[in-house]
Structure 1
Amino acid sequence: MSKNQNTFIKKQKAELKKRKKREKQEKMAARKDQPKSGDLDDMIAYVDEFGNISDTPPEPEPPKKENAPRSQNPPRPQNTTQTQKFNRNTNLKS
């Protein structure tokens, strides 16, 4: 007769648990070995026009020359003789 399958499953679970624990310890050791830097340059991230995050600053774009859209009506010349400025100090005849 064959062995009970419960013992086989228990052994597999124990192996899986040991492997995960070992991997976790390796990751922790790798993180501890990395140099820690609290520089501001290391913490800055840049976002480009497409929303992608990168460590390098974007290249400055040359300024674009924008042509102002011409209006349909040309500006009217201002005639100072036609417009009257009202002053508070004007004498009003009643």
Structure 2
Amino acid sequence: MSDPKSGILEATQREIGRCLAWDRGEEPPTDPQAIRESTAKYAPPVYDPFAGGGAIPLEVQRLGLKAYASDSNPVAVLINKALIEIPPRFSGQATG
């Protein structure tokens, strides 16, 4: 049985890719990898100026989009760095 969350994530990525392609007057990609590449290339970044705990930037990253976040609270900034900025730097590295 497949994970329902991954199905929702793929459907959302497909819809974003479809909207971006139609905005440019192109046929939307259908292959999941082509959708992710097209989205990474053409989607505008998402900026959350009052990110707080970082839920919006985190979900934006899960969709394969660029996320920028800020906050006036230094604790919120630290939480965002720990959630959004640092993990991608070490993605794919072996643990242990």
Scaled by the length of structure 2, the TM-score of the pair is 0.25
The structure where helix makes up a greater share of residues is 2
Larger relative contact order (C-alpha < 8 A, sep ≥ 6)?
2
TM-score scaled by length of structure 1:
0.26
